[in-house]
Structure 1
Amino acid sequence: MKAAVYYENGGPEVLRYEDVPDPQPGPGEVLLRVAAVGVQGGDLLHRQLAPLKSTPHVVGYQASGTVVALGEGVTSLAEGDRVVAFMQSGSHAELAVAQAGNAYRVPENLDLKLAAGIPVEFGTADDCLFEFGRLQAGETVLVQAAAGGVGLAAVQLAKAAGATVIGTASQPDKLERLAGYGLDHAINYRTEDVVTRVMELTGGRGVDVVVDPVGGRTLEGSVAALAYRGRISWVGQAGREAQPPNIGPLMFKNASINGVYFGGEMAHNPARTRPLVEGLIARVASGELTVVLDEEFPLERAGDAHRHIEGRTAFGRVLLVP
């Protein structure tokens, strides 16, 4: 099969399009013929930083496609099933292996390309808001980097839950588009001071919940924007900065911060996360929630797709298509 691989950590330029052996499903696993890859921020961090156990390495957490083979003991799926799957690596390829428990059936009325943008994005956003953020109707939430995949999912889910939603982005056109997905108040973090603007919008109180996929200096601002007993869900390092030491204000606000990694929840609490993801897929299929697709790249241009995301011009999810 063809795959986007790399032999050393680095920038998008380390990705190569090569022939590699077809993977085979082991016990409890399924083999997918990939229809679309939803490129994740975690894919970029993995390519940059994660130690390589072997080479060539195929990166990638999430893909949709059709089941073409079953590993020993798999009875929950059948060959020919349309699914979207989470995996620890291997999605940037024509074929990919996933645990059967992390593969979710896709309804016939839902495009597989759209399905490739659901489990990680919407599952992560849901956990940030509700499982760890404990968001309630009538509260106010700040979504940092609201134009990304997790950010757009969080805006929609928070609005549907009856919250007031404030979001940040770097470009006026992104902020205008976000209003169509439920954003109540937009902040351009390049031209406005986010904390000052949040305090203006909340009458000096701050927000109840922050979803922060950026980290670094942005995380420090998220702490400053919190209301008393507020909650931060920190979900990524898109800013690629060392975490700031000054989170002392959390103590004086009796506030809290949780790291959120949905893949960990899938592994440790599948009885909770599986019905959650199935419900999110159903909500997208019904039109209640929307997967926003930014741009589609052929698999051989995986480096260009990663570079496009790192350029911070994307609005929504970027796809790779074999």
Structure 2
Amino acid sequence: MTRTVRFHELGGPDVLRIEDVEVGAPGPGELLVRVDAIGLNRAEALFRSGNYIESVKEFPARLGTEAAGVVEAVGARVSGFAAGQPVGVIPAFSMNDHGVYAERAIVPAHAVLHRPEGLDAVTGAAVWMPYLTAYGALVEVGGMRAGDTVVLTAASSSVGLAAIRTARRVGATPLATTRSPAKKDALLAAGAAEVIVTDEEDVAARVLELTAGRGAEFVFDAVAGPGVRDLARAVAPGGTLFLYGALSGEPTPYPGFDLGMPALNMRTNTVTRETTADPERLRRAAQFVTSGLSGGAFAPVVDRVFGLDEIVAAHRYLEAGSQIGKIVVTVDH
């Protein structure tokens, strides 16, 4: 039996329970991983509360798609992995099928990467989802390159911080936005060229000022909702407004007609459907991230660490939204 976080109904953090569950052996194409640290993501809070892009199919339900640990057993038709190897689990499956909020978890082998040297379990649980998300959308799909400008909302999130460094690595200029002036110095230290405090400044006007009226080639937005009207005004002709999250929880309009039908591209992007589901994209993304880590251009940013027994408190902290970087939950064995 292994201690596993499950929930039997939709709701807030208090619905989470730690229960003893039989794990079993990995099947064909699967690995059994001893989980040492778990990276928390906003998607898990949305899934738990019934507000995610995918609904819970049955209860009790599991959570978690990102973790660091060690391979304990290898299923049939799996190559490239052996017991004892340190690995990272990446978002590449449905939480209706697997979950890593546990002492041990069975996961598909295609959702596992070897842990880069220099990363312990905590930092190993904080690196893959943010950088794969930023790289997959902005570089693979968007084609971001040197000289481009990218506006980043929710810039103090783990994905936002990874996007700042990803932009810097390809020679683009990252403009960070935040609601709180208290986060401005941290975002500048992380590499943002400028920080726009949305409660105090007009985002579009400031972006146009910083780009000599051109606008940004990319806006990378985690919020969505009615605010996309203002963000669209900051997009350069032919540029792209990426929506990779929906933190606002409100309907999201297409603002092109309101703005007089500019050459505006607006699309959604999810790491699980466009990056980790494509073996070649994932191979390139993993190499991009690994080389960035080894060269010092990239680094995991961990805001706070909780223990598995504190999973409810960890989810409350996640929902409060005050963190800068990743929230990680460690698992004692």
Shorter-chain TM-score: which interval? Answer: over 0.9
Instruction: Using the TM superposition, give the Cα deviation of residue 319 of structure 1 relative to its aligned residue in structure 2, in angstroms.
Output: 0.5
2:94 partner amino acid: Q
What code does the residue aligned with 2:7 have? Y
* Residue number among 225, 246, 249 corresponding to 2:234 in the alignment: 225
SS at match of 2:133: helix
Shift of 1:250: 7.2
Residue of structure 1 in register with 2:77 after alignment = 73
Residue number in structure 2 paired with 1:5: 6
Please tell me whether the aligned partners of residues 256 and 262 of structure 2 are also in contact (alpha carbons under 8 angstroms): no
Deviations 1:155-192 (A, max 9, x none): 01101211121111122232211112210110111222
Q: Which moved more, 1:301-310 or 1:46-55?
A: 46-55
Stretches of 4+ aligned residues off by more than 4 angstroms? none
Pairing 1:104-253 to 2, within 5 Å after superposition: 104-248=113-257, 252-253=261-262
Which of residues 54, 71, 95 in structure 1 aligns to 2:58? Answer: 54
Question: Quick one: distance in 2 between partners of 1:286 and 1:249?
Answer: 45
Matches within 5 A, 1:31-50: 31-49=32-50, 50=54
Alignment RMSD (CA, Å): 1.8
- 12-21 or 55-64, which deviates more: 12-21
What displacement does 1:249 show?
5.1
Letter in 2 for 1:21: E
Offset from partner CA, 1:52-106 (integer Å, 9 cap, x none): 3232211111111000011112121000010001243311111112211221111
Offset, 1:275:
3.4
Q: Is the 8 A contact 1:37 1:116 kept in 2?
A: yes
- C-alpha contact (below 8 Å) 2:256/2:264 kept by paired residues: no
**Counterpart among 297, 302, 326 of residue 293 in structure 1:** 302
Deviates more, 1:216-225 or 1:146-155: 216-225
Which whole-Å CA distance do the structure 1 matches of 2:175 and 2:94 have between them?
Answer: 32
Q: 2:313 aligns with which of 289, 300, 304?
A: 304
Q: Indicate if the aligned counterparts of 2:228 and 2:255 stay in contact, CA closer than 8 A.
A: no
Q: Tell me, which stretches of 5 or more residues in structure 2 are unaligned?
A: none
* Distance across 2 between alignment mates of 1:14 and 1:116: 24
Q: Which residue of 1 aligns with 2:25?
A: 24
- Cα 1:265–1:24, aligned 2, differ >3 Å: closer, same or farther? farther
Please state if 1:88 is matched with 2:97.
no
Aligned-residue offset at 1:128? 2.0
Q: Deviations over 1:220-265 (max 9, x none)?
A: 3221211111111210112222223544357722121221111113
One-letter amino acid of the structure 1 residue matched with residue 45 of structure 2: L
Larger deviation, residues 242-251 vs 306-315: 242-251
Partner of 2:112: 103
SS of equivalent to 2:9: coil
Q: Secondary structure at the match of 1:146?
A: coil
Give 3-state SS (helix, strand or coil) of 1:230's partner: strand
Separation in structure 2 between the aligned mates of residue 169 and residue 40 of structure 1, nearest angstrom: 19
TM-score, structure 1 normalization: 0.94
Q: Give the 3 Å change call, closer, same or farther, for CA 251–158 of structure 1 in structure 2.
A: farther
Where 1:252 maps in the other structure, the secondary structure is coil
8 Å contact from structure 2 (residues 140, 281) kept in 1: no
